[in-house]
Structure 1
Amino acid sequence: MTMVRAGVVPGRRMAGYVAAGILVVAVVCAGTVGVFGLNRVFTGLFFGAAAAVGLMVALFGRDRVELTEDAIVRRTPWGASAVAWDRVVAGRFALDEKGRWTLALDLNGGDEPHRELVLLSIPPVRRPIASAYDMRKREQVDEIRTMLRHRRIPVTILPEIANALQRHWKIAPPTR
């Protein structure tokens, strides 16, 4: 296993990406109308929307966390930073403030005395796999769990989450 892809885009950065997309639509539309006249406003909106979608795919595609054999790499569109595995204290699979299930790592050292790195945030599992999204999230949970087990990092998991993962997604509870 060489790399596992994970990561959650924080709300502020997501809002920035959406704002950049809206700005691209406005600039392309204004440019098209400025060059070709008011009759091309819908053409400008179309090409602006296409450019915005391309920009947002690029931004969201670059914003991720990669778990590699050597380190945990946090990537953003403008840079990357690595976190050594020895900074990871433990992992936890719990409920967040929005009622979603969050798989996060607790880190020590570094710039702050204690820090959290969210790897995955999914809606609660209430049924067997029904879509490609469910399948991808199941694969991510399993890949992350395997990587953390390989690195011998203890992971705590709420019993209701463990039961639902075992019942619906056929992921066995952690063994310790």
Structure 2
Amino acid sequence: MADVRAGVVPASRSLFYCLIGLLVTIGIAGLLVAMFGANRVVTGVLVGAVGGVAAGVALFVRDVVELTEHGIYVRTPFRSATVPWDRVVAGRFTLDEHGRWALALDLTENGDELVLLSIPPVIGPVSGAYDMRKREQVTEIREMLRAKRIPITVLPGIAAALNEHWQIAPPTSR
């Protein structure tokens, strides 16, 4: 079975990554202006913006949850951890506190949870690349959990919408 990439970057960490990107932008722009004079402000801002965007993208790309045959790897730019499959009690597809649909794993210790996916409610058929990628992720995660024999609970409204609009059948018991 292929590895599955998932993960949700919390708002606080997203803000932190954007702040780092902004600081890189300002730093590079300031350095170029200091080296070449005030006539290079526009060049400094442009080069700084490229550097800042690259830094931000690198941080977001490194922040991922990867489901593999051997375990679940939780990575951020500054640390990583491995969650063995035997710590996973169940999966659930429910509403989160922001009204989005969240696919999360319940872990054995301390009632911890690991959010794999957070998507806006599905109200129509796949209409673009974002919808297609999220549909693929839901299918891949579900297949991985099924292969690992981890039960998945899906709210009836979510199951009905996924079945109707994205043609993802509700989970079945084995």
Alignment of 1:29-108 (within 5 A): 29-108=29-108
What is the CA RMSD across the aligned residues, in angstroms? 0.9
Secondary structure of 2:31's partner?
Answer: helix
Give distance in 1, aligned partners of 2:72 and 2:103.
15
Task: Name the stretch that deviates more: 96-105 or 75-84.
Answer: 75-84
Alignment of 1:147-158 (within 5 A): 147-158=144-155
Does residue 134 of structure 1 match 2:136? no
Give distance in 2, aligned partners of 1:2 and 1:82.
17
Question: Displacement, 1:25?
Answer: 0.8
Give distance in 2, aligned partners of 1:139 and 1:146.
10
Mind listing any 5+ residue stretches in structure 1 that lack a counterpart?
A: none
Secondary structure of 1:94's partner?
Answer: strand
Question: Displacement, 1:78?
Answer: 2.1
Cα deviation per residue 1:48-74 (whole Å; 9 max; x = unaligned)? 110011111111111100000111110
Residue 124 of structure 1 aligns with which residue? Answer: 121
Question: Displacement, 1:12?
Answer: 1.7
Question: Displacement, 1:170?
Answer: 0.6
Does residue 168 of structure 1 match 2:165? yes
User: What amino acid is aligned across from residue 128 of structure 2 in structure 1?
Assistant: S
Give distance in 1, aligned partners of 2:93 and 2:31.
48
Cα deviation per residue 1:113-171 (whole Å; 9 max; x = unaligned)? 22010000001111111111100000000000000111111111111111110111110
2:141 to 138, 141, 144: 144
User: What amino acid is aligned across from residue 125 of structure 2 in structure 1?
Assistant: P
The alignment's TM-score, normalised by the length of structure 1, stands at 0.96
Give distance in 2, aligned partners of 1:81 and 1:51.
28
Percent identity, aligned pairs only, is: 60
Mind listing any 5+ residue stretches in structure 2 that lack a counterpart?
A: none
Question: Displacement, 1:79?
Answer: 2.6
Give distance in 2, aligned partners of 1:42 and 1:94.
48
Give distance in 2, aligned partners of 1:129 and 1:2.
23
Secondary structure of 1:12's partner?
Answer: helix
Residue 11 of structure 1 aligns with which residue? Answer: 11
Give distance in 2, aligned partners of 1:121 and 1:7.
8
Which ranges of 4 or more aligned residues in structure 1 deviate by more than 2 Å? Answer: none
User: What amino acid is aligned across from residue 29 of structure 2 in structure 1?
Assistant: C
